[in-house]
Amino acid sequence: MADVVVEQGQAVRAARARKPTSLRNVLGRKSTVAFFLTLPLILLIALLVLYPAVYSVHLATLNKSMQKFVGFGNFLFLFKRDTFWMVVKQSCIFAVTAVFFKALIGFIVAHFVHNIPAKGQRKWRGMLLVPWVIPPAMSTLAWLWLFDPSYSAFNYTLSFFGIGPINWLGDNVWARFSVILVNIWYGAPFFMIMYLAALKSVPDQLYEAAAIDGANWWQKIWYVTLPMMRNIIAITALFSLIVTFANFDIVRILTSGGPLDQTHIFATWAFKVGIEGSDIPLGASVSLFMVPILAVAAIFILRDVSKRGNEA
């Protein structure tokens, strides 16, 4: 902040004294140099993020054969389709349930790992991160085999207890359960590692003070750990919500949206409509519908984070 004030003052003085050298002053500013240094990255983001985003907005305003501008016509069409609203509902159930359980499991496991003696902790951290580092398409294929109703290890194991066979991917309820389960399995390690980092930054003195005040373990978590981790929890949840909402590979590989469209989420249905159905504008509209939902979530979560930041 101080830099800016000083430089603004200099700029004003320079403008008064020697007008022709103002360009030199502009180029000499730290902010200008910083801008030029970040320019390659800005251009890269514009090319790889901004251009596709703007282009998808453009596509969403065209008719099916992409020859006519229809404005919001595609969205109005979607609003009248029952399947679309089913996809909206399912995407919300999928994302919210998966993020909630990922956060819960990540929180619990992070505590376990935090309490392991430092010597053996690295091994556990590494092992618990494995689901997150395997490419999801690969690990989901393994899950597909595990869920196979005819030959799977799950049903084989359950048969020893007189249970099943469970139609994991062929029954509406079980299919939803299965896709959410795989997403939790894949994403929980990310929460675990973030929460573990947050836990390590909580000063021990706070726990010692709480112990002197007679706090039990639950009160320590509620009054010390959680308030100290709130921002990390919020940011991680937001990040995961965005990624989970936009998930494609898990559902595509496990169920392709079936049975009876009961596991379709935005990305898989957009692919079905846009690529398989050759209706790219409608597919673009479906995927763009995620934006307002995620924007609302982002505004609430980030507002809360910045409020707490200001309070601090």
Q: Catalog residues that contact another protein under the rule CB under 8 A.
A: 63-65, 67, 77, 80-83, 149-151, 165, 167-171, 175, 252, 255-261, 271-272, 275-280, 282
Q: How far is the CB of 119 from another protein (least distance, A)?
A: 45
DSSP at 225: I
**266 and 245 Cβ atoms separated by less than 8 Å:** yes
Q: How far is the CB of 64 from another protein (least distance, A)?
A: 5
275/278 Cα distance (integer angstroms): 5
Q: Which of residues 77 and 207 has its CB atom nearest to another protein in the complex?
A: 77
Could you tell me the two tokens for 282? 């409608």
CA distances from 18 to 6, 58, 112, 115, 260 (A): 18, 47, 66, 66, 74
Q: Which of residues 29 and 64 has its CB atom nearest to another protein in the complex?
A: 64
**210 and 219 Cβ atoms separated by less than 8 Å:** yes
Q: How far is the CB of 7 from another protein (least distance, A)?
A: 46
Q: How far is the CB of 101 from another protein (least distance, A)?
A: 23
Q: b vs e for 280-298, b when ≥16 Cβ sit within 10 Å of the residue's Cβ?
A: bbbbbbbbbbbeebbeebe
Q: Which of residues 7 and 171 has its CB atom nearest to another protein in the complex?
A: 171
**252 and 266 Cβ atoms separated by less than 8 Å:** no
Q: Which of residues 113 and 284 has its CB atom nearest to another protein in the complex?
A: 284
Q: Which of residues 106 and 257 has its CB atom nearest to another protein in the complex?
A: 257
267 pairs with which residues across the strands? none
Q: Is the dihedral of CA 256, 167, 184, 227 positive or negative?
A: positive
Could you tell me the two tokens for 167? 């139609």
Q: How far is the CB of 60 from another protein (least distance, A)?
A: 14
Read off the amino acid at residue 61. T
**66 and 281 Cβ atoms separated by less than 8 Å:** yes
Q: How far is the CB of 170 from another protein (least distance, A)?
A: 4
136/138 Cα distance (integer angstroms): 5
Q: Which of residues 112 and 145 has its CB atom nearest to another protein in the complex?
A: 145
Q: How far is the CB of 148 from another protein (least distance, A)?
A: 8
Q: Which of residues 191 and 271 has its CB atom nearest to another protein in the complex?
A: 271
Could you tell me the two tokens for 159? 């048969």
Q: How far is the CB of 169 from another protein (least distance, A)?
A: 4
Q: How far is the CB of 107 from another protein (least distance, A)?
A: 33
Q: Which of residues 224 and 261 has its CB atom nearest to another protein in the complex?
A: 261
Q: Which of residues 155 and 225 has its CB atom nearest to another protein in the complex?
A: 155
CA distances from 262 to 25, 27, 228 (A): 62, 58, 39
219/211 Cα distance (integer angstroms): 10
